[in-house]
């Protein structure tokens, strides 16, 4: 049997494994979201005070979810857009075409080389900054430490500049793309994370033992709907890829 006939089923099988893992990741994310308790800033402050009185400072720890207003006394300034924010990512990418050669052999043993140009991207530089901020509800606020958080960023700057180097025999530069995405230092946010006072101050931060730590716009319903949608997409993709791989494998035997 020609082993080359097994290549496509193997690649499809690998793709099915990858999409299966992606579906599993979405399922875990949904479980963490549902497991977190809905709370408020005032309730968390009161609970921490009660626990500290009964068990001592540094004893409070709970996974929660809440919606509140972002407040930051000293916001960052995004370098390219100049927007005030609590987080930004600046990415510089080289857009290029790369020459590739593919040699094909027909049934008579004749070889033919085909030349094509493939579109590729290469990250040249990436700068990321985050700043702690408060979540405010009414007159009370809670500090959030955004390290390791999954932030929903908004693209506020995108520009493609002319090529900076000459073409070679194997590469053609199309341009340099600069993109900036930020989390604005105002507006409402939905947060899922762990609230604890181990540092002596009540903070919302990443769970110590792993779990969901998310800061995004919108509300819990929208977030849950997005997770469920992607879970369905990955599940269908897994079954389709696996089914095609099995069919091709059987026909090649």
Share above pLDDT 90 across residues of the chain, in percent, rounded to a whole number: 48
The label of the residue with tokens 């790369």 reads 98
pLDDT computed for residue 150 by the predictor:
93
pLDDT in tens, 1-24: 455 556 777 777 788 888 888 888
DSSP-assigned beta bridge partners for residue 203: 143, 196
Could you read off the pLDDT tens digit of each residue along the chain, which spans 253 residues? 455 556 777 777 788 888 888 888 777 877 778 888 999 999 999 999 888 888 888 789 999 999 999 999 999 999 999 999 999 999 999 999 998 888 777 777 788 888 888 999 999 999 999 999 999 999 999 999 998 999 999 999 999 999 888 888 888 999 999 999 999 999 999 999 999 988 778 999 999 888 899 999 988 888 888 878 878 888 888 888 888 878 777 776 6
Q: From the centroid of its chain, how far is CA 26?
A: 12
Within the chain, where are the H helices?
7-35, 41-55, 220-252
pLDDT computed for residue 138 by the predictor:
92
DSSP-assigned beta bridge partners for residue 89: 128, 181
Q: What does the block give as tokens for 42? A: 């005032």
Specify whether the CB–CB gap between 176 and 92 falls below 8 A.
yes
Residue 103 burial (CB count, 10 A): 8
DSSP-assigned beta bridge partners for residue 22: none
What is the rounded average pLDDT for all residues in the chain?
Answer: 88
pLDDT computed for residue 63 by the predictor:
93
pLDDT in tens, 211-238: 899 999 988 888 888 878 878 888 888 8
């Amino acid at each position: 049997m020609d082993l080359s006939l097994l290549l496509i089923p193997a690649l499809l099988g690998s793709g099915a494994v990858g999409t299966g893992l992606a579906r599993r990741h979405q399922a875990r994310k949904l479980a963490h979201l549902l497991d977190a308790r809905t709370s408020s800033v005032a309730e968390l402050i009161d609970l921490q005070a009660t626990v500290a009185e009964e068990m001592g400072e540094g004893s409070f720890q709970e996974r929660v979810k809440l919606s509140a207003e972002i407040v930051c006394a000293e916001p960052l300034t995004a370098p390219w857009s100049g927007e005030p924010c609590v987080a930004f990512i600046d990415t510089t990418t080289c857009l290029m075409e790369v020459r590739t050669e593919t040699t094909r052999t027909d049934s008579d043993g004749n070889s033919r080389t085909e030349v094509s140009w493939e579109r590729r991207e290469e990250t040249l530089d990436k700068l990321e900054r985050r700043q702690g901020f408060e979540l405010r509800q009414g007159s009370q606020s809670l500090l959030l430490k955004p390290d390791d958080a999954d932030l929903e960023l908004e693209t506020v700057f995108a520009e493609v500049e002319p090529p900076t180097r000459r073409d070679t025999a194997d590469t053609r530069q199309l341009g340099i793309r600069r993109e900036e995405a930020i989390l604005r230092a105002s507006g409402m946010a939905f947060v899922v994370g762990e609230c604890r006072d181990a540092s002596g101050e009540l903070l919302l931060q990443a769970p110590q033992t792993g779990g969901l730590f998310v800061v995004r716009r919108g509300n819990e319903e929208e977030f849950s709907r997005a997770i469920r949608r992607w879970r369905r997409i990955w599940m269908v993709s897994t079954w389709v890829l696996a089914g095609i791989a099995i069919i091709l494998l059987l026909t090649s035997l």
